[in-house]
Chain A
Amino acid sequence: MQHWGRNIFLWCFFLQCMEGVILVRILFISCFLLLLVFASVSIPYITGSIATILFFFTGYEEFLAALPKRIFSQLDVFALMAMPLFILVGELMNRGGVTDALIRFSQLLVGRFKGGLGHTNVMTSVFFAGISGAAMADAAALSNTLVPAMRKQGYTSIYAAAITAASAIIGPIIPPSIILIFYGAVMGVDVSALFVAGIIPGLLLAILLMAANAFAAVRYDHPGGKKEDTPSFLPTIRRSFPSLMIPVIIMAGIMFGWMTPTEAAAVAVFAALLISYLYGQANLTMIGESLKKTISISGTIFLMIAAASCISFIATLTMVPQILSDFVISIGVSGNKFLLLLMVLFLVMGMVAETQIALVLVAPLLVPIAIAQGADPVHMGIIVCLNLSMGLISPPLGGVLLVTSTVAKVNYWSLVRSVLPFFLLEVALLVILILFPELTLSLPRSLDLL
């Protein structure tokens, strides 16, 4: 009885704190959201319809007229082009035997270890990171290639998807990186120094994930580690050699400045076609299926970008990012404590906002405070980028999680749950990077970039 009384008292207090109208609106949105979720409405339409309602509830409904342009211009981005092309590469690789060849090769390398394909997944992400500048492309391509392979070997879909999503974050840390280029532009920091600074943290992240995979392999008795898992040496090398050339072509093309990532992706499509032909697996049906699959997956991703941009539009209009950053400034701490507080704030930002919007709105407000307290701008760059990238694997709307769950066909919330251990590991890495700036700064310093 006493318990009930206290609850009612708290509710009355809560009601008094808020204007009635606002409360009604919050209740309405929450109920509507629940209704949408239980009617199994798909994510882009949940996001988009909530956005429309928010425009009305915040008094910015005249901005609905601007949505067509907003959506178009959010999609009209050069860097996005690499995404469908890399998805197509993944589709062709799967159907043309390239993925099988790569998997056999990686089995040769790490198959003798328990959880070998999990290790391969992380290793491939390191390799992909050197190819692409964005986590989303990594996630899309690898969910499409390695997850089915892992499933076939006896991993659960959800574990395969989780390690794919977690290791996709390596993508924007190891150069090239779209986020780092963006940070450099926004903060006026040299991009090549940022690129070089990302290498060691990116590799550390890979090592940590492989360690976690090794642990999980023992705990859940993942395949690998038996003698018969290792294929014979020479035939495997001979068969996988052409496939291994694809990433080499892409890497060399980008590193030596012959091609942009988008162009490299297009070249990779043709390379995948050629190699499928060499394997005797290229035919019109396989090409047609790959193309159809690609447009459908890309379509989903594009619509999610569009719907998310409607939400971030209303967040910007109502000054949500500023309110958050003002709050942090008002707490008034300094040094490592401030950096850790920033980390928490950026984690929250990463959860609710688009990476680029978070970067462009909050970083310029808060990073200068840290720099004034003695933090290095390049060090801050790596921390902020890792920090915001982790928003891609955190709920409610983690871009990489959405892509992975769509492509790998696993339940979104189960994926959220199984990514959590990896996510916590990445938080730990973040703290280590904050406390030991030398991990980030020593390499660019030794190359005279600082």
Chain B
Amino acid sequence: MNLCRKIVVISRYTNKYCEYGAVAFLVMMLLLVALQVVARYGFDEPPQWTEEGARYCMIWMGLLGATVSYYKREDPVLFTPSEEFLVKWRVPIKLVEFLAVVVFVLPIMYYGPSFVMRQAGRMTDTLGIDVGYTVLIIPLFSIIILVHATARLISTDKDEAHYTKEFY
């Protein structure tokens, strides 16, 4: 298997697990908020960490979800080109799209590690976990998006048709 194929396959599996992860965080968030409601009327002392836990679940769900919607091309566009236009300008379109993603996401990836280090060592208000772990999603998000973008750039039409069929 050559490198190009490898990246396409990595991107495909990454997306599969991102989707599972995002769904898990969504369910967890739902359960934590529900626990809050039950606790307020069921127990004497409602737990204080549910709100914070739910909030972090929301952020992880949201950014993992953003990688999924990128992979599945579900983000809104301002202009929907015709089939003919797409065929004619296929390569330039791919390049411009890759460029846009890189220009947005690269600074986030580049400054991600130092950001995580700055946040590390500080505890969250009620859960008492290191803030460094909670913000890991930011560099993670940028890396996943770059993997998907690279895969999309180098994949053939056949690849794209294949991975949309295989999983969805």
Q: Which residues of A contact B (CB under 8 A)?
A: 35-49, 51-53, 64-69, 71-72, 75-78, 80-81, 84-85, 88, 258-259, 262-263, 265-267, 269-270, 288, 291-292, 294-303, 306-307, 402, 405-406, 411-413
A84 touches B62 (CB 8 A): yes
Q: Which 10 A-B pairs have the closest CB atoms?
A: A299-B65, A48-B104, A42-B75, A302-B62, A299-B66, A39-B96, A295-B65, A49-B103, A68-B115, A295-B22
| Contact indicator A85/B33 (Cβ below 8 Å) | yes
B→A interface (CB under 8 Å):
19, 22-23, 26-27, 29-30, 33-34, 36-37, 41, 51, 54-55, 58-59, 61-70, 72-81, 89, 92-93, 96-97, 99-101, 103-105, 107-108, 111-112, 114-115, 118-119, 135, 137-139
Complex Cα distance, B73 from A240, in Å, reads 36
A300, closest chain B residue (CB): B69
Assuming A67-B108, A85-B30, A296-B65, is B97 touching A39 (CB within 8 A)? yes
Q: List 5 A-B contacts (CB under 8 A).
A: A44-B104, A46-B78, A52-B104, A69-B118, A295-B65
Q: Does the CB pair B62–A406 fall under 8 Å?
A: no
Q: How far is the CA of A40 from the CA of B80 in the complex (A)?
A: 6
Interfacial chain B residues near A258, Cβ < 8 Å: 41
Asked if residues B55 and A412 are in contact (CB atoms below 8 Å), the reply is: no
Asked if residues A76 and B59 are in contact (CB atoms below 8 Å), the reply is yes
Bound Cα distance from A287 to B72, whole angstroms: 20
Is B30 a contact partner of A266 (Cβ separation < 8 A)?
A: yes
Alpha-carbon distance A297/B79, docked complex (angstroms): 19
Residues of chain A with a CB closer than 8 A to B118's CB: 69
Contact (A295, B68) CB under 8 Å given A68-B111, A80-B58, A300-B74: yes
Among candidates B65, B101, B108, B111, residue contacting A302 with C-beta atoms closer than 8 Å: B65
Decide: B65 and A44 in contact? CB cutoff 8 A: no
Contacts of B115 in A (CB 8 A): 65, 68-69
Q: How far apart are A376's CB and chain B's nearest CB, in angstroms?
A: 36
State which of A38, A263, A266, A306 has its C-beta within 8 Å of the C-beta of B81.
A38
Taking CB atoms, residues of chain A closer than 8 Å to B29 are 81, 84-85
Nearest A residue (CB) for B61: A295
| In contact, A411 and B80 (Cβ under 8 angstroms) | yes
- Shortest C-beta distance, B112 to chain A (Å), equals 6
B33 and A71: CB pair below 8 A? no
Most buried by B among A71, A80, A269: A71
Q: Hey, which chain A residues are within 8 Å of B68, CB to CB?
A: 295-296, 299
**Complex Cα distance A44/B112, Å?**
19
The CA-CA distance from A405 to B78 in the complex, in Å, is 10
Are A41 and B100 touching (Cβ within 8 A)? yes
- Contact B93 A39, beta carbon cutoff 8 Å: yes
Extra inter-chain contacts (9) besides given A67-B107, A71-B138, A300-B74, CB under 8 Å:
A39-B89, A52-B103, A64-B111, A263-B37, A267-B34, A295-B22, A295-B64, A302-B65, A302-B66
Contact B26 A84 (CB under 8 A): yes
- Chain A residue numbers with a CB within 8 Å of B138 are 68, 71-72
B104 close to A65 (CB less than 8 A): no
Report the nearest B residue to A263, measured CB to CB: B37
Rounded to whole Å, the gap between the CB of A162 and the closest CB of chain B is 15
Complex interface: chain B residues within 8 A of A298 (CB): 26, 61-62, 65
Q: In the complex the two chains form, is B69's CB within 8 Å of A52's CB?
A: no
From residue B20, how far is it (CB to closest CB) to chain A in Å? 10
Name the residue on A nearest B137 (C-beta): A72
State whether B100 touches A49 (Cβ < 8 A).
yes
Bound CA span A49–B37, Å:
41
Q: B26's contact among A45, A71, A291, by CB below 8 Å, is which? A: A291
Cβ of A267 and Cβ of B76 under 8 Å apart? no
Q: Are B96 and A270 in contact (CB under 8 A)?
A: no
- Complexed CA–CA distance, A348 and B136 (Å): 37
In the complex, which residues of chain A have a beta carbon less than 8 angstroms from the beta carbon of B36? 263
Chain B residue nearest to A265 (CB atoms) is B33
Query: Nearest-CB distance from B54 to chain A (Å)?
Result: 6
Query: Which of A37, A71, A299 is close to B78, meaning CB atoms less than 8 Å apart?
Result: A37
A139 CB to nearest chain B CB (Å): 13
Bound together, the chains give a CA A359 to CA B139 distance in angstroms of: 31
CB distance from A20 to the nearest CB of B (A): 24
Q: In whole Å, how far is B84's beta carbon from the nearest beta carbon of chain A?
A: 14
CB atoms of B111 and A40 under 8 A apart: no
CB-contact partner of A296 in B55, B69, B108, under 8 A: B69
A294: chain B residues within 8 A (beta carbon): 26
Residue of B nearest to A38 (CB): B79
Contact in complex: B76, A297 (CB < 8 Å): no
Q: Which of B51, B92, B93, B96 neighbours the largest number of chain A CB atoms within 10 Å of its CB?
A: B96
Assembly CA distance A268 to B61 (angstroms): 19
